[in-house]
Copies of this chain bind each other. A is one copy, B any other.
């Protein structure tokens, strides 16, 4: 491989995706401590925010302990070398949130949509392009679309002005060959950097991230100790030395990275994520693990096996926002 091909940019959403695991309750002191450690380790990009992104703090999905404005201010101050990224889901956040994030020093904005709804990103992507901001488009729950379809949506995002695109394995469903097929198709369709964001429900987050890089992805998302909801994300301090051992350069200092991970383990989370049985079932069924609590509650009420409910939700291609389907499925299973 040539030197350019062998570089991988690590994007660290510990302070955004990890928020899901603690109901968005990280304090300013916690944000500052981790951002300082990540900056010292030379992690190139640190993402911060409410788990659901800019503007999402609400009674419905949970109020963050710290406002978007304070989060960005605190983290920006700590990141003397690393770039600061933010995430936004159209509908949760709006243009004013983007403007404020840029004013507070965000270097990169990611706009996320369901994998088949990239058109929802058009307006925001245009807004960011008009301001000369670096904006990436990312597709959530990407296992629900075939490689060709994902490639088309990524090309669409680039046509809107995205300077990078990527896919999230939101329910941790992929095996490495699935990732290879998708990243390969996307790489053929676009000429901007391609990102992969893994979850560990099937124990494959690190292997899937490696498969993505080998297929041409040049941005890998990973969180300290895998900090994130359910089975957690790709573990940052594991995937970095694994990629380095395989000949890819990340520019990250290993010992300081391990220090940052130790700090995260000690200061940010009650316990590191593990793969419990619900994690396995949500990964296998391809259902967002955020459904867990409701599936367990409704299954108990209806006297059905929650695992059957997950698999049926998977067959019905349920996505976040369709929580009502859980009741339909549980009642149907009870009656069957």
Contacts and interface: CB of A to CB of B under 8 A. Distances in A.
B176 A255 contact: no
Interface in A181-209: 200, 202-207
Contacts of A205: 203
A252 interface: no
A204 B280 CA distance: 16
Q: Contact residue range for chain A?
A: 35 or more
Interface in A274-296: 274-277, 280-281, 284
B276 A265 contact: yes
Contact of A275 (B238, B271, B276, B281): B238
A165 interface: no
19 contacts: A175-B210, A175-B242, A175-B245, A200-B203, A202-B238, A202-B241, A203-B207, A203-B235, A206-B207, A235-B275, A237-B280, A245-B284, A255-B305, A255-B307, A258-B277, A258-B280, A258-B281, A271-B271, A272-B274
A176 B202 CA distance: 16
A239 B284 contact: no
B203 A284 contact: no
Given A261-B277, A274-B274, A305-B255, A241 B284 contact: yes
A274 B225 contact: yes
A97 interface: no
